[in-house]
Structure 1
Amino acid sequence: MQGVFLPRLREPVRTIAGRTFDFDRQVAVMAVVNRTPDSFYDKGATFALDKAVSAVDKAVADGADWVDIGGVKFSPNDGEVSAEVEADRVLPVVEAAVKTGAVVSVDTFRASVAEAALDAGAHVVNDTTGLHDPALADLVAARPHTQLIITHSLAKPRTHYPQPQYADIAAEIALFLRNRVDVALSRGVQPGQIIIDPGHDLNKNTYHTLELTRRLSEIAEVGYPCLAAVSNKDFVGETLDRPHGERIAGSLAAAVYSILQGARIVRMHNVKESVDAVRMTEAIIGWRKPAYTVHNM
């Protein structure tokens, strides 16, 4: 299809949380809900439990397919957050989110938090540290109806990685992800449980992230559904000279371009706008029928 990259995916049809997703012809919108006091996007607006639960409900009402819940920032700038504190933050939100019928993922690098979240009903482990702890793979392998997101990230969890360098960023990300997928498979995770994420902005500068987005098809060729977490990130702000709160248009452009290059899940903050952009993209590609047709009919 001209202008659209269609990766050959291993097991593109996935049943998650009782819902079937065909990633050969479908894009899932993942909403973001962070229970952190100073998250980079909302500055703690959903830190209070009632605010976090309300944010989950609104995201689902606005059309989100997935809800990603986190209790610790990727950046280490907020100091140490123990596993106990992280679990206390995320578990009540996971329990509330499961009741909505959405796919629920937990954004964590800790096996103990992931296990507690899965026991509470979460369906996906979203590890943004490149499977730094292979025990996360063991948890998913023991639960065949769950999914594991493996993300490209060079640093150890919650450590700085100043001035990263890449000779060929798309090729290096693809190789990294293939290697980490092999680790997951060696520990019993099935191909139909694996999702990959190139890690926009994670241990990368804006030039790196722009290039990996431009060449995302080379990463999607790894052969598993590819997640693009592009929403409101610094590469959008630095490219457009826009502060947080003024990056929606740039984020939507990055999400749509990523879909055309093979992304099948987009992680977004502004859910209603993102759902419209994704559904319109699906319709243009030919995967989705219009909601109705009256014009010139």
Structure 2
Amino acid sequence: MWSFHSPKVRAMSDVLTLGDQHLPLGEVTYVMGVINLSPDSKNLPTVAHSVDEALAMADRYRIWGATLIDLGGQSSHYENPTIPVADEISRVVPTVEALAAEGHLVSIDTWKPEVAEAAVTAGAVIVNDTGGLQDPEMRRVVADLEVPVVVVHVEGDNPHNLAPLDLAEDKAERTANRLRRLLADLAAEGIRDVIVDPGIALNYPSDYEAYTRMQLQVIAASEQLKALGRPVLIPIPRKRDAHRVAAYISLALEHKADLIRVHDVALACDLARLFGRSR
């Protein structure tokens, strides 16, 4: 169904610059550990209910080997409510400030430009736009902030307004083609510091097993994403079974993802060492 060998295509730059840190690309897969500040999150082990809890969680992630923290204040699951912008900002900003003060590299996970701007002002070094940088205001904010942005491929406007997913089509090719066109549009607007994410961790209403197979096929076709010339972030979907999560992580490591976004941080860091992809 898929090949475990892909050609090595390098990104436009061999280094990902985050604040004052420079991460070499190519030989390492950097682990981005998730911390959720939303009480609506369905992944309870990654939910922090206070700044102190988030700091303790981030410190554990760093000890295990994670390089980045992906912090979100709004649950992306379509079944959960969309909270007001002001509430999301009040959730994330104190934690961003605290994490940045402790030297953590923080990515802000949001599709709302006001939240992105507030978080970067507070110390975040990446905007992880789960709205796929489709919002003109988010584009303006990212261009003004001059920080790297993760562009998530999304079928729809944002994770709470997803379009139906056609599981019969070649999702890997469709994703790469749409991202290619988007990158060209962004470059024309002066936005070039982009990390691409195929969006396979979004919670589309779909057949569980069919979507699982599609997710694996997209990871196995990572060379199509690497050919875009930007760092590739593979978001590892949450699954009920730990062995499935390990399979996703292993496949992403085999195909030399530049970054993986994970909830199971200890497992991901251990597998990265096993595959010779750790720092």
Shorter-chain TM-score bucket reads: 0.7 to 0.9
Distance 2:46 2:104 in 1: 23
After alignment, is 152-161 or 221-230 more displaced?
152-161
Residue aligning to 1:153: 154
Q: Is the 8 A contact 2:201 2:235 kept in 1?
A: no
Residue aligning to 2:257: 263
Query: Percent sequence identity over matched residues?
Result: 28
State the Cα deviation string for residues 235-282 of structure 1 (Å, max 9, x = none).
xx3xxxxx3xx42x4323312211322411011122222112113312
Equivalence map 1:85-100=2 (5 Å): 85-100=87-102
SS in 1 for 2:161: coil
- State the AA in 2 paired with 1:227: L
Q: Is the 8 A contact 2:46 2:263 kept in 1?
A: no
Residue aligning to 2:218: 212
Gaps of 5+ in 2: none
Could you say if the C-alpha distance between residues 60 and 100 of structure 1 is closer, same or farther in structure 2, counting changes exceeding 3 Å? farther
State the Cα deviation string for residues 198-248 of structure 1 (Å, max 9, x = none).
0114247223212212222222221111001114x2xxx3xxxxx3xx42x
Could you say if the C-alpha distance between residues 73 and 6 of structure 1 is closer, same or farther in structure 2, counting changes exceeding 3 Å? same
The structural deviation recorded for 1:184 is: 2.0
Could you say if the C-alpha distance between residues 166 and 142 of structure 1 is closer, same or farther in structure 2, counting changes exceeding 3 Å? farther
Larger gyration radius, structure 1 or structure 2: 1
Residue aligning to 2:197: 197
* Off by >6 Å, runs of 4+ in structure 1: none
- State the AA in 2 paired with 1:222: L
With the length of structure 2 as denominator, give the TM-score of the two structures: 0.88
Note the aligned Cα RMSD (angstroms). Answer: 2.2
Q: Which has the higher contact order (CA 8 A, sep 6+)?
A: 2
How many aligned positions are there?
Answer: 269
Which of 247, 270, 273 is 1:276 aligned to? Answer: 270
- State the AA in 2 paired with 1:274: A
- State the AA in 1 paired with 2:261: R
Distance 2:186 2:48 in 1: 32
Distance 2:19 2:249 in 1: 24
Which of 123, 136, 139 is 2:138 aligned to? Answer: 136
Q: Is the 8 A contact 1:5 1:262 kept in 2?
A: no
Q: Is the 8 A contact 2:6 2:223 kept in 1?
A: no
Q: Is the 8 A contact 1:125 1:149 kept in 2?
A: yes
- State the AA in 2 paired with 1:105: S
SS in 2 for 1:77: coil
After alignment, is 103-112 or 177-186 more displaced?
177-186
With the length of structure 1 as denominator, give the TM-score of the two structures: 0.83
Distance 2:81 2:45 in 1: 16
Which of 16, 19, 22 is 2:21 aligned to? Answer: 19
Could you say if the C-alpha distance between residues 17 and 61 of structure 1 is closer, same or farther in structure 2, counting changes exceeding 3 Å? farther
